Structure 1
Amino acid sequence: MTPCVIFDLDGTLADTSTDLVAAANVCFDAMELSEAERRLARLDPVSDAGVAVRGGRRMLSTGLERAGRLSDELIDAWYQPLLDAYAGALDVHTVMYPGAVEAVERLRRDGYAVGICTNKPAAMAEQLMRSLGVRDLFGSLIGADTLPTRKPDVAPFWAAVDGCGGSRGASLLVGDSDTDHKTARNAGVPSLLVTFSPEGDGVKALEPDATIDHFDELAEAVRRLIG
């Protein structure tokens, strides 16, 4: 039996928010908006970081709502252009969170299988992980479009566990959001949420099984939860 730790990507392993916001703003700049609407729609890489890690559609809907132009048609029309803009510049500002690489390497040395389950499109997640030089640390990577469903459905989580050779009976999910918490709950496994993401200490209100303020705390927390 190989205990297994599955990680979310955006806001958990890597700080991707600045590049995500930049891609959304490329779209807002190209839309047929008035200058006043454009100023309202554009996202801020700091204050809107929490919006960014919730995905492309959330960024579009947030900006368009602020500009008074929210519509499903505009979101649908600009979602693929947003993905294209992001794919062309997804590693300009993105970095792994402090201690993340060392924490994953330690888990591997301690005998844990490790994988990624993200709601980012799989090809983009693969591209980003390879650009950051860390793809080979993970035995599996399941993206939003790998299967017909995405988190919080349990199928992607179990696919990540199975893909990295982990045991379903000794696995947990490390994430930063309500979606990750619900995924773990639906799978009947512990949830461990990080507080250094844009959500900050707010994740504690979700009552996860554990939280960490820095990746230095990960190994001990994992041992407490799954041995």
Structure 2
Amino acid sequence: MSTKLIYPDTIVFDLDGTLIDSLPAIRVALNQVLSAEGIIKLTTEEVKEVVGFGAKWMINRVHEDFGQPIKPEKLKDLMDQYLNAYMENSVEYTLVYDGVYEVLAELKNAGVRMGICTNKPGLSTRPVLQSLKLDQFFGAIVTEDDVENRKPHRQHVLETIRAVKGDVSKSMFVGDSETDMAAANNAGIPAICVTYGYCHVPYEDLEVKALLSDFHHLPEVLNKLQVSS
């Protein structure tokens, strides 16, 4: 007879690098924008270095790196170009990581409240989740557009918990980057970091409760943390 696993009341999930591999879609969209600006196309590894801080930051950073800083009045136009290109390619080039569907279904069936906390704009988040049929698992999708202070500020995490009617004292965070871990720590909730995403610092430098190399194992890790708490 199998032992019933114990889960937290609420889990806040990051999106890119945690549940989905959006790097190919981001690269295609970003390179379309850069090509129009006369900037050479970036490799997958180069794009990975600037992913995780939001699209505006990414576009600004790449232009600065190539000695072409963007004037504020031009940023909106470039953002529109990027978002349009991303939406055109997002479904074709975005992959759901192995184990995500199965584990999210298990957690939902167990009554866990789940929300998405992402630094992406809503325009490039909700349609992708719907097309990948991931939206069915979440009680709330809180993007950078929905909060005054996005990750790593605690407001973003706390607003996600509030949106799913969760209890902060019974919540956990699952993400892939230093931004995610800082957001969880700032909100005062335990964090689990997956090791297949877009982290830019050594994992040993992060303040986490557990590292996760395979999403299939998330239920066991959650149970272990619940039992030991």
**Cα distance between partner residues in 1 of 2:71 and 2:217:** 42
Q: Offset at 1:86?
A: 1.4
Report SS of the residue matched to 2:11.
strand
Deviations for 1:179-215, whole angstroms, at most 9, x for unmatched residues? 1111111111001111011338833321312110011
Amino acid at match of 1:135: D
Report SS of the residue matched to 2:189.
coil
Hey, which bits of structure 1, 4+ residues long, moved more than 6 A?
Answer: none
Contact conserved, 1:152 with 1:180, CA < 8 A, in 2? yes
199-208 or 81-90, which deviates more = 199-208
- Name the structure 1 match of 2:29: 23
CA RMSD of superposed structures (Å): 2.3
Amino acid at match of 1:174: V
10-19 or 46-55, which deviates more = 46-55
Over 3 Å counting, the alpha-carbon distance change for 1:132 and 1:50 in structure 2 is farther
Contact conserved, 2:25 with 2:90, CA < 8 A, in 1? yes
Identity score, percent = 29
Q: Offset at 1:221?
A: 1.6
Deviations for 1:7-54, whole angstroms, at most 9, x for unmatched residues? 0001111000111111111111112x3xxxx22xx2212442242343
Q: Kindly report which structure 2 residues correspond to 1:31-180, keeping only aligned pairs within 5 A, or say none.
A: 31=37, 33=38, 38-39=39-40, 42-73=41-72, 75=75, 77-180=77-180
Report SS of the residue matched to 2:90.
coil
- Name the structure 2 match of 1:4: 10
Give the aligned length. 220
Over 3 Å counting, the alpha-carbon distance change for 1:107 and 1:113 in structure 2 is same
Deviations for 1:43-89, whole angstroms, at most 9, x for unmatched residues? 21244224234332343234323432234545555223212221232
Over 3 Å counting, the alpha-carbon distance change for 1:100 and 1:202 in structure 2 is farther
Q: Offset at 1:106?
A: 1.6
**Cα distance between partner residues in 2 of 1:90 and 1:102:** 22
**Cα distance between partner residues in 1 of 2:128 and 2:213:** 24
Contact conserved, 2:52 with 2:179, CA < 8 A, in 1? no
Amino acid at match of 1:91: V
Structure 1 unmatched runs, 5+: none
Give TM-score scaled by structure 2 length: 0.86
Give TM-score scaled by structure 1 length: 0.87
Amino acid at match of 2:190: P
- Name the structure 1 match of 2:209: 209
